[in-house]
């Protein structure tokens, strides 16, 4: 018996600013304005910061990092998870048109194995582009995509997406990209974990 190895094609899809984008899509008055979907505690802290600017309140330390300029000028909204879950299911239905091999990571993020896609598109890059176009045209939302031979590189490709919203690494390109990288976490991870995880 002969088994033929099929090169894996993984797409990492991440919705752009998912909660805030859903709110802006559904409320035209929010479009073009900074919107923050946050818990009550953060919204209350930002309201105190605004009052402090007017000299009428003292502000305790913020439990999370919130830029002052954002706190002063953004519109803060409480999360509406039933609505976000409903939109997430609509996004998932678009994924299912192309593959049944879907690994959800959250409401707004998933890995798709499109090594053999349902639509017969010749490349994973075209699958990712088609998914992004369908999300934009049908749901009025945007998504970023990364394409690579494995999940790790697909996520890196999505993080380093170009201005078109997607980035692809084939096997040769993956090796050229991966080998020169330092043994240290990405910049975003260093911000949260410090330098303890860096190589000596």
Point out which residues pair with 144 in neighbouring strands.
14
| Number of neighbouring beta carbons within 10 Å of residue 172 | 8
* Token couple for 28: 């035209």
* Token couple for 94: 């678009």
| Number of neighbouring beta carbons within 10 Å of residue 75 | 16
Cα(178)–Cα(153) distance, integer angstroms:
8
Q: How far is CA 48 from CA 41, 52, 62, 71, 173, in A?
A: 11, 6, 10, 10, 50
Spell out the residues 6+ positions from residue 197 whose beta carbon is closer than 8 angstroms to its own: 184, 185, 189, 190
Is 4 buried (19+), middle (13-18) or exposed (0-12) by CB count in 10 A?
exposed
Catalytic residue among 103, 109, 138, 184: 109
User: Does residue 138 carry a catalytic annotation?
Assistant: no
Q: List, by residue number, the catalytic residues.
A: 109
């Amino acid at each position: 018996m002969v088994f033929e190895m099929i090169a894996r094609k993984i797409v990492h899809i991440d919705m752009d600013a998912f909660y805030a984008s859903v709110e802006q899509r559904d409320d035209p008055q929010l479009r073009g304005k900074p919107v923050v979907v946050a818990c009550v505690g953060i919204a209350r802290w930002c309201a105190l910061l605004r009052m402090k600017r007017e000299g009428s309140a003292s502000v305790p330390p913020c439990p999370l990092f919130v830029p002052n300029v954002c706190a002063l000028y953004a519109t803060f909204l409480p999360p509406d998870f039933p609505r976000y879950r409903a939109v997430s299911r609509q996004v998932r239905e678009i994924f299912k048109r192309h593959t049944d091999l879907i690994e959800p990571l959250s409401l707004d993020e998933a890995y798709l194995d499109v090594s053999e896609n349902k639509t017969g598109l010749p490349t994973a890059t075209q699958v990712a582009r088609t998914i992004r176009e369908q999300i934009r045209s049908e749901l009025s939302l945007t998504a970023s995509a990364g394409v690579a031979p494995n999940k790790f590189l697909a996520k890196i490709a999505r993080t380093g997406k170009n201005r078109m919203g997607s980035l692809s690494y084939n096997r040769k390109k993956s090796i050229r990209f991966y080998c020169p990288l330092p043994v240290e976490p990405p910049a975003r991870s260093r911000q949260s974990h410090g330098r303890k995880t860096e190589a000596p």
